[in-house]
Structure 1
Amino acid sequence: MRTTIGAEEEFVLLDPLTLTPVDRAAEAIAALGGRREDGGAVTPEFFPSQLEYATRVCRTAADVSGALEGFRAELREWAASAGLLAAGVGLPYRTARDARVTDQDRYRDIASRFGLVVPDHQLNGLHVHVGVDDREQAVVALNRLRPWLPALLALSANSPFWQGADTGFDSWRAIHSRRWTTHGVPPAFADAADYDRRAAALSGVGGTSDAGTLNWVVRPSERFPTVEVRVFDAQLDGATSAAFAALVRGLVVSPPDDDGREAALAPELLDAAHWHAARDGLGGDLLDPRDGGLRPAPEVAAALLAAAGPGLAEHGDTELVRDTVARVLTDGNGATRQRRALARGGTAGLAARIS
């Protein structure tokens, strides 16, 4: 029986000339949301320029890809008719400094806890859900994924620009996220009770109001019987998002290394490696979970595919994921492709690349 997967993609609506967010997501949601025939859902996000599309629960990567690409086609068509761009990017090229959050109680409550962090938090991600039997299995999956999160970030990094400037980072979104009370790679947990106890202890500390405001890049879902992976920047195309979802599932269902070296990596090393991956992407070395050293990105990517290999084979995803990773290594992650488009065509070229 196939382990289920699903994906949530966040998009930002942009002015096609300035590439600045435009607060018209409510119109897009009214046109594209409601009870969708594909079983997915379209919902508001933290800012009124953003919206999220969540697939139905899927059995195959092809189902995920079809749902994502189908919604993207509808969203592009609506955006064009409205004189806008709908972009799958980790951060918009520019933002308005007076941005206000979406007018919902939860978003206003969160905003009240974070002060001037809030206007900068215009982040867009790809969230992957992998089905689990229970919370115990979700915590096992969390621990399994931890050492590979920097490599997953490097492959998916797609937010090199901020306020019209190159940040020098492939994922500036990941750096923005570090300003939340909790961030990045979570600690390892003994079991579900350990996770729940430590998560509860964080409630009321800093900006953490409940489990939904724990900003770790992998966590047990509080709404669904899944482990939720949030490390990915939003992607330029739905097919890549679906392949990353399949890669995560492959890791979750594959057995860990025999000698426990991956699990033994120190939390401060994983935290530093996450920052390192956000800066360098695939352009340098990455942490190799097999020994905690730095290795060239293609070598670590090969190790990642090997670690996920049994799970990929079990679900028929080996070729899809292998080919996607090979393409990203050759053509560059989203950050590289955005930089290339801007260099070749200016903001018009970048607009064409991200829409």
Structure 2
Amino acid sequence: MLTFGIEEEFVLLDRSTLVPVPIAADIQRALANFNFGRTVVQSEFLRCQLEYSSPVLMHFDEAAQALWDFRSAVAQCADEYGVVVAGVGTSFRNPAQAMVTEEGRYIAIAESIGILASEHYINGLHIHVGVPGREAGVVSLNYLRQWLPTLLAMSANSPFWCGQDTGFSSWRAIQYRRWSSAGCPPEFIDAIDYEKRILALIGLGVTPDKGSISWSARLSARHPTVEIRVADAQLDPSTTLLLALIVRALVLASMTQSETVPPDPAPELLDAGLWHAARYGLSAQLVHPLHHRLVPASEAVQSLLDAAHLALEVLGDLAIVTALAEQLLLVGTGADRQRLAFNTAGKVGLASFLARSIRNDSSADLPLAGHLGPNDPRPLESDSLD
């Protein structure tokens, strides 16, 4: 039974303008009253961002409880301060200047990236899966590469930028491509090769340390985990849970894969596939993860589910993942739902939708309620920037 953990980033927004507001430190202090201390809720690159690090988890029930508890608490704190807390990959509109958190590492990074600091209003979802060692982690990384575009398409939740519809489903993914080590990781020979190659990146571009490696999937610098970083921050906990359970199943599948696994796709196909997924999400065709040709999005998602099927059965997650995946294909990605809210009722409608989504109110028919369990007290520590 592989453990997993979830890091969710949230942004605090003005209710009327949907512009980020720099009160993350105030919300952090308020969350302490709900027993969410600074080992669980970390500051992020900007003073309008918070990151929640879950306990180390084993089962859907406890993961659902952990996400629900935190989101309920942070929503209540946001209400008290008169702001909206949102799980979105990008804000609807951004302020003119950066709100860099006054911590040494963040300040140093901001100084090194120039004007990019004022445009880094992006929020991600990071999923950790425990692995028995670095060698197993590299095997999983190599296997996961082919699935990253499909996972990005399923998680796409950032259609807006500077008050406009970008035409992309994940504008966060496009923004993040500008960083020096962003994108799909290369294929590695073994753990020694992995270590050698990440050490060569230290000091280049925006990579002052191992924790700033920005690949869409990597080995964690702090934990014995594979860390999948391709996803946008999510509107509601149900989609977060779907992605986390699928990623865990794929890691397990990588450890039990047969000799008939298709050859590793060319890096240019994976890179183009990531761009294509960022553009369209699930609203059009996607690159098939195994055959590398355009197919309906539902077919690409089904290919992923087929690859994870046996692992999901072993882990006891097949029924809930199947239900959540069907729901996602039915109601659309976060980007689709944000667009619908904005096109229906403008900024007021979008603000109301985001405020409801944080508690899952906007998708109450998802199979989340009733699947609750105890929390593991061990939180993850974030080593992320995005």
- 2:48–2:99 CA contact under 8 A, matched in 1: no
What does residue 186 of structure 1 align with? 185
Deviation of 1:315 (Å): 1.1
What does residue 85 of structure 1 align with? 84
The Cα offsets for residues 76-101 of structure 1, whole Å up to 9 and x where unpaired, read as: 11111110100000011001011231
What does residue 259 of structure 1 align with? 260
User: In structure 2, how many angstroms separate the alpha carbons of the residues matched to 1:47 and 1:353?
Assistant: 23
Deviation of 1:38 (Å): 10
What secondary structure, in the 3-state scheme, does the structure 2 residue paired with 1:173 have?
helix
What secondary structure, in the 3-state scheme, does the structure 2 residue paired with 1:189 have?
coil
What does residue 137 of structure 1 align with? 136
What secondary structure, in the 3-state scheme, does the structure 1 residue paired with 2:194 have?
helix
User: In structure 2, how many angstroms separate the alpha carbons of the residues matched to 1:349 and 1:37?
Assistant: 30
Superposed CA RMSD in Å reads 1.5
What secondary structure, in the 3-state scheme, does the structure 2 residue paired with 1:154 have?
helix
Higher mean C-alpha deviation, range 172-181 or range 208-217: 208-217
What does residue 44 of structure 1 align with? 43
Deviation of 1:259 (Å): 2.6
Aligned pairs for 1:1-355 within 5 A: 2-33=1-32, 36=35, 41-254=40-253, 255-256=256-257, 258-261=259-262, 263-355=263-355
- 1:40–1:56 CA contact under 8 A, matched in 2: no
User: In structure 1, how many angstroms separate the alpha carbons of the residues matched to 2:85 and 2:307?
Assistant: 35
Q: 1:258 to 1:306 in 2, by over 3 A?
A: farther
Higher mean C-alpha deviation, range 10-19 or range 281-290: 281-290
Q: Higher relative CO (CA 8 A, sep ≥ 6), structure 1 or 2?
A: 2
Deviation of 1:39 (Å): 11
The Cα offsets for residues 177-229 of structure 1, whole Å up to 9 and x where unpaired, read as: 00000111111111111010011111111222111111101000011111001
What secondary structure, in the 3-state scheme, does the structure 2 residue paired with 1:112 have?
helix
- 2:24–2:43 CA contact under 8 A, matched in 1: yes
**TM-score under structure 2 normalisation?**
0.89
State the one-letter code of the partner of 1:267.
P
State the one-letter code of the partner of 2:260.
D
User: In structure 1, how many angstroms separate the alpha carbons of the residues matched to 2:170 and 2:32?
Assistant: 29
Deviation of 1:40 (Å): 6.8
User: In structure 2, how many angstroms separate the alpha carbons of the residues matched to 1:34 and 1:118?
Assistant: 32
Q: 1:158 to 1:339 in 2, by over 3 A?
A: same
Deviation of 1:319 (Å): 1.2
Gaps of 5+ in 2: 356-386
Gaps of 5+ in 1: none
User: In structure 2, how many angstroms separate the alpha carbons of the residues matched to 1:174 and 1:237?
Assistant: 19
User: In structure 2, how many angstroms separate the alpha carbons of the residues matched to 1:314 and 1:33?
Assistant: 38
Higher mean C-alpha deviation, range 117-126 or range 157-166: 117-126
Deviation of 1:256 (Å): 3.6
What does residue 358 of structure 2 align with? none
Q: Percent identity?
A: 47
**TM-score under structure 1 normalisation?**
0.96
User: In structure 1, how many angstroms separate the alpha carbons of the residues matched to 2:258 and 2:117?
Assistant: 40
State the aligned residue count.
Answer: 353
